[in-house]
Amino acid sequence: MLMILSILNIFIDIAIFFSVLLLIIAVASFFIIKDIQKEYKKVYRINSKLEIELRKLVNLMYKFLEDSKLEAYNNVVIKQLPHEEKRNLLKIIEEVYKEVHVEKEENSYIVETYNNLDEVRRTRDSKVLVFNQKINLFPFNIYVKIMKLEQFHTFFDQQEK
């Protein structure tokens, strides 16, 4: 009888241990998922801001500078473009911007919008790098696979040293 009670106590201790362990895993999972969602929303918001600035600058440059390179992007929904196409658009914008007379008063809004776009792009790329590094670390990488999230791409060219 005493032996049965001691075995029963061992099973109860093991059950309590596993219950506490499962509770800790559940609470940790909740916080990890919330953190991933928070970081994803940050990148998504800044990405939307970049697309708005990109659209604004394309409209301004096409309307006032009448550059034929931007004609293909004039009536396109920027948000629906693939990443590589957005990269190409940024390169075209940089080429067109080099021809802008920045000291002229009538180009001041184009210059301001270009500077805003550049700042938003740098901010977005830094947030993307942080997000991508985070989702590659354990235990975030496990939850990212479950949530089926993918890495974001940056707009700057990574140069090897």
Amino acid 128 reads: V
pLDDT at 161 over 70: no
Angle at 151 between CA 57 and CA 87, to 5 degrees: 30
Express each pLDDT in 10-51 by its tens digit.
999 999 999 999 999 999 999 999 999 999 999 999 999 999
The answer to whether the beta carbons of residues 116 and 53 sit under 8 Å apart is: yes
Nearest-angstrom CA–CA distance, 7 and 1: 10
Residue 45: what pLDDT?
A: 96
Residue 115: what pLDDT?
A: 94
Element (H, E) at 80: none
Residue 121: what pLDDT?
A: 94
Express each pLDDT in 128-143 by its tens digit.
999 999 999 998 999 9
What six digits make up the tokens of 56? 């604004």
Express each pLDDT in 58-90 by its tens digit.
998 888 887 788 888 888 898 899 989 999 999
What six digits make up the tokens of 121? 């792009």
pLDDT at 160 over 50: no
Is the alpha carbon torsion for 77, 82, 87, 89 positive or negative?
negative
Express each pLDDT in 85-125 by its tens digit.
999 999 999 998 988 888 888 888 989 999 999 999 999 99
Q: What pTM does this model have?
A: 0.79
